[in-house]
Structure 1
């Protein structure tokens, strides 16, 4: 059972689809107009009443005035743009100097005198020994810290001053009249004042029938939304400044051209500098090594040699390399050498020969780290020698930046990148704001007539695209090639402005063929009578609903056009173009072959319009021209037979009929008996004479309508309208029951 139901549903749907495909979007549109003619003045509403008792007298003041107002407005707009930049440089210098000097002097004198003798010989011996030791040590320490900070601030402001001067001149005239009313009768009376209303006769005429072509197109205002889409994209870029580069990302990691980590490439901080368009400070390299040295002559005994050096701030010791050349004295004792506080080297003790060292890496006790690693500031190394004679000690102190210095460099680079990105962002924001202002001004500064014309152009474009299908081109390829060959500026649409067209005969023929299509499309349709119905959500994709819902325009019609998801368009085919339009719309080209039923519909509508609506006469008709403003109709109860000769028709009344004009006999229905014949004579009040009859008409069965169309068309409805006037009517003791 479910399978059978599904099959039946499919069959019904298929038949509906076939019926829908086979039904052309063709219809009829009656052209109507309203005619208003003033036909007189009529008493209107009651304005005021003045009751008067017998013998009572009163004064009535009547004022009339007219006021003329003239206004002159002058608008003066001044715009001033200010750009200011402020630079502040802060220099901080800290200098510290320490000088110390110590002097040690030691003097040792020994004098010995020996005197003796024998009687024959006497002798004297004097021995003197003097030892003097003087040691002087001087040290100067100087530390200088310098810091320079530069801050730069820029601001840009725009001020607009608008002065509007309005001069209003009001001139008026006033007329006052006073009337004295007195009731001289014995009965009370009432003076009634009424407003006077202008009476209009309003007639609704149907003056034509047109073939229509009905279709529904999606998003008629899609092209106009591009400017709003651009506005939406620009506004989405507005907002507070955000800097996404982290401080930790300022490092030496190699990256590729896109900033992604790679095995080889430039350092990330350099890539960031290029990305933001700013030069950044280079990463601190290892400083130049320090090379302190000392050369002394020792006495061969115990000797302690102190070697001092200064490690500048911002750097610390990475490693120390020792270069030494120590000579041995002439004694048989062994040579000993050591660096106090460092790792002891066994080969430096108990040597019987001189000691020569080249770039020996001094290690700390335990041998796991370099000696004095990560030390900074003033340092002193002590070297011990024993049984040495001539000693040279030289150091190569390799340094590297401290973590604090690296962090300071990282902060400085990050600040540079931040300021560059911020300046670029604010410049971009100003550019975006300027572009938004230009687009908004372009959208709002359009007059109403131009708006309607633009919408009509979009409707025309949508119609052609969806009537003629995907094979239709607004600019075919061969025509585009002809434009290119002529050197047309395709981007701005500037071409054919010189003395020569620059086209070959073949290209000229191509343009003329396309010209025929353009001319036909604009002539075949009464674009001024196209009817459009806008639908909001149909065919708009749901993701676009929030954007479309927020579209705003000062003109309500343009706003509705922009927000329309689809539009039903009823095209009005111009009179006389019905058959050619059907060939073009259904066949895809001018003069295409299409099924006969389409042409029959077009021909029937055109024939009905010709029979029923003679149209507006020329402004300067000939003297013999015959006119009939309004239609005249009557009926005939006689049976009429076809005849090629004049036929005298008995009618109910011939009043209003005019000889020399066509008359419609019978009704327009599926029988197809309605015909138009010329009235040749009006014999009397109940007869008409027509030139001939093509069909039989049986008035005895049902009265046959006889209609003579008027130039204004068929009168559909007639009524009266009233508009106020400046007049006033007066009456004495009006009948209250007759006042509406």
Structure 2
């Protein structure tokens, strides 16, 4: 639409298509009854998008619309764009798009499968190299002796461990948990007696097969495996025979307990000058393998023990040790 005093001229381009218009028919002109001004209105659409002989949409992301007017005071142009798709072109686009997506998916899937296979092979290789040695035999032996000691005490006391009478408070925000002093003294006297009255480091034991245990645990005991054969035998055992030696000097005190059920001959803990008193230094020596005045019997002998160490350099030997003195059980690296 436009308002002018003479014949207007309009040029309109949409994409690659263009059209030219000027009022020709009488019906396209309307007097506004003021001077020579006229109102012009085209009777039909001037441009059709996507004509049958081709499209007007060039290789661009935008659809450009240009307007040029001559001999026109003011005007307005309204555009309405309708897009129509061709079924064949859509089919081609869908097929090509699917092929691209399928190819990309196949590439990603192939890469994923190759990575999974690589990780599997790496894990299998690491499993072949990994070997769990477990605890050293000395540690396993302490575990075995501690468990046997616990059950031997249950037979001797006729009471399982963990049933001492010392009471503890729950504690709070101001005071920590506290134990009952008199109960702790009484329990401590009992603990000290059983720790001193027997030579726990000298106990002897023999394990019996798994079928002496309850049948419900036979399968687990039979399948028990460990690098340490002694620990494996302990885990599989259904019963065990244990001999616990009484410490020299405690024979009467142990007999008194077995008859009366009271420790320390019912005389209280021994003082430092009592024959049953055992210095803490002697306890530490027993635990660390210190010299306790043992008397060697016969000539010494060598014992070879297996090692979990790996000899890395070919041709090198393992370190050797030599005795410091023939009368002492102390060793030093051999030069």
**TM-score, normalization: structure 1?**
0.19
Structure having the larger proportion of residues in helix: 2
Larger RCO (CA within 8 A; separation ≥ 6)? 1
- Return the TM-score normalized by structure 2: 0.39
